[in-house]
Amino acid sequence: MGRAVKEAQYRHHRALDTRLAAIGTTLAQWDALRAIARTPGASAHELAVATFQGDQSFGTLASRLAAQHLIERRPGRGRRIEHHLTEAGERVLTAGRAVTRDVLAASFGPLDEGERATLLGLLRRIGAPGEELRGQRPRN
């Protein structure tokens, strides 16, 4: 079952990366832009958590986004560095939303609305924060 989930995710991410490349970005970059748009002024650590990355990986990614003038890093309180989208970043984010809508529709198109709702509910249930997986045996 885990392999089937990973295969679906892999196909989905490959499609997203391919389509996002056409607008000059990657899935990781677009996801970072989306996280920054959701929480303007967030720290690198907060954004790393939101994008399922380590702090160092996100820092490298943010440096690339800043070099492309897609985000700005501004000093916050203390040593905190805050992240904000630029106008160019907003444009890439908007273009990426159209791409992701199309890919999501294709990825989940074989499922009817009820099946999509069931799948979402099940994935949320097994992925709930605080669930401990170590040492548990699968139920048959």
Q: Which CATH number goes with the domain that contains 74?
A: 1.10.10.10
Q: pLDDT tens digits for 71-96? A: 999 998 888 999 999 999 999 999 99
pLDDT in tens, 86-136: 999 999 999 999 999 999 999 999 999 999 999 999 989 988 776 555 555
Whole-number mean pLDDT of the chain?
91
Identify whether 19 is part of a domain: yes
Q: Evaluate if residue 137 carries a pLDDT over 80.
A: no
30 lies in a domain? yes
Q: How many residues does the chain have?
A: 140
Report if residue 75 sits inside a domain: yes
Q: Is it the case that residue 66 has pLDDT exceeding 80? A: yes
Residue 140 has what pLDDT?
A: 47
Count of C-beta atoms within a 10 Å radius of residue 76: 13
Kindly state whether residue 32 falls inside one of the protein's structural domains: yes
**For residue 91, is it within any domain?**
yes
Cα 115 from chain centroid (whole Å): 23
Question: Is residue 115 in a domain?
Answer: yes
16, pLDDT greater than 70: yes
Q: Which residue range forms the structural domain that includes residue 70?
A: 2-126
> What's the pLDDT score for residue 18?
95
State if pTM tops 0.75. Answer: yes
Q: How many distinct structural domains can be found in the chain? A: 1
The Cα–Cα gap between 88 and 60 comes to: 19
pLDDT bin (cut points 50, 70, 90) of residue 17 is very high
CA distance 84 to 36: 6
Q: Is 132 inside any structural domain?
A: no
Q: Is 100 exposed, middle or buried (0-12, 13-18, 19+ CB in 10 A)?
A: buried
Tell me 89's DSSP state. Answer: H
Any domain includes 98: yes
Helices vs. strands in the chain: H and E counts, helices first = 6, 2
- C-alpha–C-alpha distance, residues 46 and 81, integer Å: 11
Nearest to 84 by CA among 69, 73, 93: 73
